[in-house]
Chains A and B, each alone.
Chain A
């Protein structure tokens, strides 16, 4: 079986002659096949959103969310291999609760993101483990500052004004670059994100999907909470109509 990394891709403990670790690259590939996720740092907070294919009509609406709360003020969204992502979230929750147990304070978003990154990095070091096939976006408030981070399967962590991952990430990236994030609120951003996510589903337009969103903002008093469902659905429908209207050329 030949492929790009014949022989050098059997384990995360092997480099190839070009200095790449193929298992980590493959894990990143796995996240690129996942549903699109977006994080936007707006004027008054951060919006996290993700879209997922709904495989069957039998699935309950609103179940199986990809957005999680880690602490009261810090939330996350995942893509890629979902069970991998969930397991990282469980670890993040543990880290956060042990931290506050030991230091008597809520963990800061920077510190939590760092812990998550170190945890994911651990799995790129050993032959007996495989890297997580999931990208995690973390958003949280600390004192008067909103911070947004993204961690990929290699364990690299960066802070962002806006970030995307998953299948439609390139399309959404272009759309985000057209926005002036400092001027819009998280409320405004919900509409824009719905537009982007729907637009990025070009090929799979007819398949059933669901959008999950959560925000941490002035409006939510600095807590990470789900975006109210009726409001989100309203913005989704509006976005859908606007896109259809544009396509009809009006």
Chain B
């Protein structure tokens, strides 16, 4: 804050941007430590290595037990490898704002001038990276334990899809976390959402098997594009071939993010009107 203020102490646009960047980075590093309650290396190891295998194993054995053909079982295995990130991308992220509320830190946070978009997005960013690792471990299990062939796979394509899907799912976590600014908890909504993704996103069966009227809802959730795209990339589709899918997923993620931030801003205004920041 040097000579960037005018006479009345109003900051220039440049320094406001610089401050927003500090907020983003601060929130990125602090989000993990202070707001994600699953922050310890044991919990990361469990999330990265055990969550996917448990989930994939359950659905794979169900499929084998029901005597589905191998191709179906492998379809299910890939779907669950990707979906297994949703705990860290959606559930943990959705909990962030509620955490602030429970710890009583929401008034201290909201009384700062911190750029709300940078704050809102920054503190979830660590979970994007964690989610990518979880889905990556899931795909590794798919290849090594469940016999999914990666012979044709476009690895760059797979990596891009996984990363983009992590971002996209995290935006849903943020959308739900905004609810936590106003309601006591966002966890119920997050939990419902996890099962909705199981049902709608082409994880265990193709979207085309769903009733026609449900299918548009499937394509409103970014995970549906991500699951489809990862199967395509494993089958050999390169980035140019994946581009339409990725494009839709990215657009979807941006819309969800805007909706989430809109909700967050709206609830901030509402909480200032009703005085609910410190309720828990």
Are A and B interaction partners? no
The chain B residues found within 8 Å of chain A, CB to CB, are none
Interface residues of A (CB under 8 A from B): none
